[in-house]
Amino acid sequence: MNVVHLVRVGTIDLSLVENLHSAILQSLNVVCRILPFPLDPSAAYHSEREQVHSSEMFERIESLVRPGDWRLPAIADVDSYIPILK
């Protein structure tokens, strides 16, 4: 069976992610779990832009992927950017 792990980035409210978790379980034929810890985006924060570099965060999220994971969506409360876009 497909496994979806929800990842919190920053200080996103757990209840919001729990609501998303419930909606996924009702809508899709998958196993859905919430990772028990939020990712700290501060390592990818760039003070000159006052934003989080999205590619750096995606690399950290990618390192969490395990065999059998189908999707690993991240829910964030941070302002992120990609350098090629203004």
Tens-binned pLDDT, residue by residue, of the chain (86 aa): 899 999 999 999 999 999 999 999 999 999 999 999 999 999 999 999 999 999 999 999 999 888 888 899 999 999 999 988 76
Q: What phi, psi does 68 have (nearest 5°)?
A: 95, -15
Task: Give the model's pLDDT for residue 67.
Answer: 87
The span from the CA of 25 to the CA of 31, in Å, is 7
Nearest to residue 40, comparing CAs of 20, 14, 64, 60? 60
Considering the entire predicted model, what is its pTM? Answer: 0.83
Which domains, from first to last, does the chain contain? 3-81 (3.40.390.10)
**According to the model, what pLDDT value does residue 85 have?**
76
